[in-house]
Structure 1
Amino acid sequence: MGLQLRAATPEDLEWIYELRHRVYAEELGQHAPDPAGRLRDGLDGDNVYLVAARGAARIGFVSLTPPWLGRYALDKYLTRDELPLLTDGDLFEVRVLTVEPRWRTTAAAPLLMYAALRWIAARGGRRVVAMGRSELLDMYLAVGLRPVGRTVHSGALTFEVLTGDVAGLREVTMDRYGTTLERLRSEVDWRLDVPFAPRPDGCEHGGASFTAIGTDFRSLHRRHQVVAADVLDAWFPPAPGVRAALAEDPDWAARTSPPSGAEGLLAEIAAARALPVETLAVGAGSSDLIFRAFGQWLTPESRVLLTDPGYGEYAHVTEKVIGCRVDRFRLRREDGWRIDPARLSAAVESGRYDLVVVVNPNNPTGRHAPAAELRSVIAAAADSTRWWIDEAYLGYVDLAESLAQLAATDPRVVVCTSLSKMYALSGMRAAYLVADPVTAGRLRRWTPPWPVSLPAQLAAVAALRDPAHYRGCWLRTHALRRQLAGDLDGLAGLDGAVVVEEGVANFLTVTLPAGGPSAAQLVNECRRHDVYLRDLSPLSPEYRGRTVRIAVRDTAENARIVAACRAALEVLGTDSDSLVAMPAVTSAAGSAR
């Protein structure tokens, strides 16, 4: 019978308290024995338990303390001044890794540790801290944890304080134990609300909906059945001129090499945006420009500031591809997710950042920072700091709010604009950036010939020539979003506990109440109805594993989204296992605290 990893149930909790007493009071002498034979602490009820079991036999558990609780077990032993990393907003504490004595030589402990890492990564955790028993230090060093130079004593035990970056721990785990994990994968009954294995590149993208359609393109009829609300593609068709340009001679468009430097597209962008053509560079989507520009400008020694929550591609490129030193400018739900210009100015005033990235309107929060506020912050910032402003969704606000004119003259500022989302051209892959002529010229020199396909160039030019079509589509999007928000806000049986936040673009977010199902559970259940939503949990701990992003679709598909969410919540609400300790998940471990 295989090892099961699951979320803790109420019945598990009594066993957890009893096992903790047997191990930490009776066996190890860390705590005084309790006549009731149970060992509890002040974090019980708030932290997360992952449990390992084999059939009816419980084997072990691990406890996780997420940052949104605002307190950790280590607070009992060290002050925040003594251990400053406890102030990090994306720090998760791993603790009380405990296994029944007869199972300590099995894979239970390593699997519990792996499960904890996967659960933390799925909630946006970027760093972990743990108290490891000194005599088990080698086990923790082997998985990539490192001592911080602090030792604490509890009863008869001595612990080393250990920490590690989640990305680094993942890399060590896959390098050293990937083969073993792959072998165990078929033997483990994995019941956590996070996939067993991460994506190969470690980047969390949307787009699972295309997997449902079929990435081999043999079942494209499924596109009529799947509601792709997990990606932010436009719900509306491109302008009639786009379709006409593509349909006029598709054979020719498919077989003909495009203008090597996209000269016609550059000229059209310059005319549409009243910009000098020498301030422009084009790419096959904004990701192409991000990878190309950042690869030129940044090194592992570079300091970068990203908003959090923010578009995950920026964290992926800066942290995992280039290896920069990245800090987060935290946006807060209680502030309406807005960028406070005074707080941002204070964060960048020292000039220590080589690059600051601002997505405006922001994805995934949907909030827009007024151009005047950003101009003031940039004007006061150090000359050594470069600003990357991503305006992929600006059309949903007002193109007059663009900082493109500033970017054309200020060497510190670059504006990147995708033509995908606003112009219904996601499949075409076309984007451009605006920078001063010197910066733009350097990027053009590092651009390979034919960077944008001929069909994409034809489509983008035609789209830019029909602004009236898109203004109407953007206005209609606001009406559809408001209707969708109202319908989701009125879901039956949740007593108004669901929080729907609209923003200004073509998407909204839904946050589920604490104590109910997780975002991952809602996403998975909606997929049974061919409705695909985006779980925002991996992007930031600010979402606490409870928020999904939903793209605005047309009236019929929006109705399917609402129906799927209603049906999913009804199922999850009657499934007692899905609602227990939803901080809780299961794992396997060796005793440590």
Structure 2
Amino acid sequence: MLKNYVIIPDNNNDCTRCFNKGERMGSEHGGLNYSELRKLGISPDDVLDFSVSINPDPLPDSVLEDIRNSCIIRYPDSDSGLLKNSIAAYNNIETDSILVVNGTSQGMFLIVSSLLKENQCVAIVEPTYSEYYDACRLKTDNIISVRMTPQESFRISTSRILETVQSKKPALLWLCSPNNPTGSYLNEEDFETIRKACVQEGTLLILDEAYVCFVQEKKRYNPLREGVIVLRSMTKDFSIPGLRLGYILSSPTIIQRIKKWQPEWSISAPAQVAGVAGFRELDYFKNSWRKTTERRDFLKKNLEDLGLTVYDSCSNFFLVEVDDAEALKTHLWKDLILVRDCSSFSLVNTIRIGIRTDEDNHKLIQSFKSYLKK
């Protein structure tokens, strides 16, 4: 959990976070604590981990076979050439607009290192992924937060973002869509309004689309336009979190500036091979993404039928309000079920649930039922 910062609200429901620049404070994320599991004598395979938001379907055998056969006795291609070709074909762009990264978290730190000057202002739309803060605090204390609220069902407020951009003129604006942890997705009209304001004020818009593959295709749009840097995660798309893989899209000029800061051989050979194989099996994964949204809707309805408040989401996770998050987590853990406590997002008694397989989702529903009967 993030500590040692101050939130100062103003009349516009925005807030400024004040940090000690350069102090490294690790972000709290979902996922298993392997050290604790070893102490408890629990195998990671026995835990139903709903705290992460990864494609729940297994990798096709062809992808697994390619990963097994990847060459690990030579240095990998430092330019990820074959994978860039696959990404370019998928996005209908040129390869010089692509930088492959060791997970989108690496991309965030590269963006800050290469594009943000000391003590420049940065704006972040929240509640959201805390790595944006961690990356920016390496360069600046001047971090402005534009906060979405449960009273607004966590809809992304275009008007407050515009007010911040026009009044503060930040060097960078971080926006996650679909947003983690709320699942809110910015429609194209509002995106373009924000983008134009950023271009006018000299602000680079960083759009984190780590979960966009789970958005219905008819709702998606191409955000790669002037003044925009797009982050994408193949970790989520292809269910390969252990390999760490993602990419950045932007103008060739910006991509070259960012690439200068990337360590050589950042992307391992198995990761590059997995990405190429994943795009080759795109029909399988597109079907998996559609099934995941159907599972999300099923799980959401079942939890709502139990009387719980569940927020709408366009991604493969959603937020649930509960009476006592600690008590619920303790109960679920008796069934070796892990969910994401959202206190680190400053959301009280709220949990995030990532969508898993049908069988796992049914087990979660049953555990909720037994908790609510107490």
Q: Which residue of 1 aligns with 2:73?
A: 255
Match of 2:224 among 367, 390, 405: 405
Please state how far the C-alpha of 1:222 moved relative to its aligned partner. Answer: 1.9
Give the counterpart of 1:473 among 288, 295, 298.
288
Q: In the alignment, does 2:324 pair up with 1:549? A: no
Query: Using the alignment, how far apart are the partners of 2:14 and 2:163 within structure 1?
Result: 21
Structure 1 match to 2:51: 230
Aligned to 1:284: 102
Per-residue deviation, 1:309: 1.1
Q: Which of 362, 366, 373 is matched with 1:563 structurally?
A: 366
Kept after mapping to 1: 8 A contact 2:165/2:201? no
CA contact (8 A) 2:121 2:140 kept: no
Amino acid at match of 1:325: N
Please say which of residues 299-308 and 547-556 is displaced more in the overlay: 299-308
Residue in structure 2 matching 1:309, options 127, 151, 156: 127
Contact 2:216-2:290 within 8 A present in 1 as well: no
Residue pairs, 1:261-300, within 5 angstroms: 261-300=79-118
Give, in whole Å, the separation in 2 of the partners of 1:340 and 1:502: 16
Q: CA deviation at 1:560?
A: 2.0
Cα distance 1:399–1:475, how it changes in 2: closer, same or farther (>3 A)?
closer
The answer to whether the Cα contact below 8 Å between 2:119 and 2:139 also exists between their aligned partners in 1 is no
1:351 Cα deviation after fit: 5.5
Deviations 1:394-437 (A, max 9, x none): 1111567344431xxx2x21001011112212121111101111
Task: Note if contact 1:239-1:462 (Cα within 8 Å) is conserved in structure 2.
Answer: no
Which residue of 1 is the match for residue 4 of structure 2? none
Counterpart Cα distance in 1 of 2:275 and 2:38:
27
Corresponding residue of 1:133: none
State the distance in 2 between where 1:486 and 1:210 align.
32
> Could you give the per-residue CA deviations for residues 487-529 of structure 1, whole angstroms, max 9, x where no partner exists?
22233xxxx2x201240111111102xxx42x23322332222
Deviations 1:266-299 (A, max 9, x none): 1221122111111111111000111111122224
- Whichever residue aligns with residue 334 of structure 2, its letter is R
Checking the alignment, whether the CA contact within 8 Å between 1:309 and 1:330 is kept in structure 2 is yes
CA drift of 1:311 comes to: 1.3
Q: Does 2:355 align with 1:538? A: no
AA at the equivalent of 2:329: V
Contact 1:430–1:452 (8 Å) recurs in 2: yes
Q: Deviations over 1:205-256 (max 9, x none)?
A: 22235455549xx97x823310011111221123443123123x2xx53333
Letter in 1 for 2:28: E
Asked whether 1:416 is paired with 2:234, we answer: no
1:501 and 2:311 aligned? yes
1:524 corresponds to: 330
Shift of 1:383: 4.3
Question: Offset of 1:85 from its aligned partner?
Answer: 5.9
1:428 aligns with 2:249: no
**Residue pair 1:268, 1:464 contacting (<8 A) in 2 also:** yes
Contact kept? 2:223, 2:230, Cα under 8 Å: yes
Asked if the contact 1:209–1:228 (Cα under 8 Å) also holds between the matched residues in 2, the reply is no
Structure-2 residue corresponding to 1:55: none
1:294-338: CA deviation from partner (whole Å, max 9, x where unpaired): 12222441111111211121122223x333311111212232211
- TM-score normalised by the chain length of structure 1: 0.57
Aligned to 2:269: 454
Preserved CA contact (<8 Å) 1:291 1:317: yes
Q: Aligned to 2:29, which of 194, 197, 205?
A: 205
1:393 to 211, 234, 257: 211
1:245 has 2:66 as partner: yes
- Listed as ranges, the gaps of 5+ residues in structure 1 are 1-66, 68-83, 92-125, 128-164, 172-199, 574-593
Q: Offset at 1:390?
A: 0.5
Task: Give SS of 2:87's match.
Answer: helix
Secondary structure of the residue that 2:238 maps to in structure 1?
coil
Residue by residue over 1:66-119, the C-alpha shift from the partner in whole angstroms, topping out at 9 and shown as x without a partner, is x9xxxxxxxxxxxxxxxx86759699xxxxxxxxxxxxxxxxxxxxxxxxxxxx
Supply the distance in 1 between the matched residues of 2:201 and 2:78 (Cα, whole angstroms).
Answer: 35
Q: 1:480 corresponds to which letter in structure 2?
A: R
Counterparts of 1:85 and 1:225, CA distance in 2: 43
CA distance, structure 2, for counterparts of residue 375 and residue 241 of structure 1? 39
CA RMSD of aligned residues (A): 2.7
User: How far off its partner does 1:466 sit?
Assistant: 2.2
Note if contact 1:391-1:402 (Cα within 8 Å) is conserved in structure 2: no
Runs of 5+ in structure 2 lacking a partner? Answer: 1-6
What secondary structure sits across from 1:433 in the alignment?
strand
- SS state at 1:356 partner: strand
SS at match of 1:488: helix
Between the aligned partners of 1:330 and 1:274, the Cα distance in structure 2 is 34
- Secondary structure of residue in 2 paired with 1:231: coil
The yes-or-no answer on 1:368 pairing with 2:185 is yes
Residues 486 and 355 of structure 1: CA distance in aligned 2, closer, same or farther (over 3 Å): same
Partner Cα distance (1:468, 1:213) in 2:
36
> How many Å separate the matches in 1 of 2:66 and 2:188?
35
Equivalent residue letter for 1:555: D
Residue of structure 2 in register with 1:484 after alignment: 299
Judge conservation of contact 2:123–2:146 (CA < 8 Å) in 1. Answer: yes
- Kindly provide the amino acid, as one letter, of the partner of residue 539 in structure 1: F
Identity of aligned residues (%): 25
Letter in 1 for 2:164: A
Match of residue 3 from structure 2: none
Alpha carbons 1:261, 1:451 under 8 Å: kept: no
> Within 5 A, what are the aligned runs for 1:316-355?
316-319=134-137, 321-350=138-167, 352-355=169-172
Separation of aligned partners in 2, 1:311 and 1:449: 26
The alpha carbon displacement at 1:366 in A equals 0.5
The change in CA–CA distance for 1:522 and 1:316 in structure 2 (over 3 A counts) is farther
Checking the alignment, whether the CA contact within 8 Å between 1:415 and 1:435 is kept in structure 2 is yes
Change in 2 beyond 3 A, CA 1:399/1:426: farther
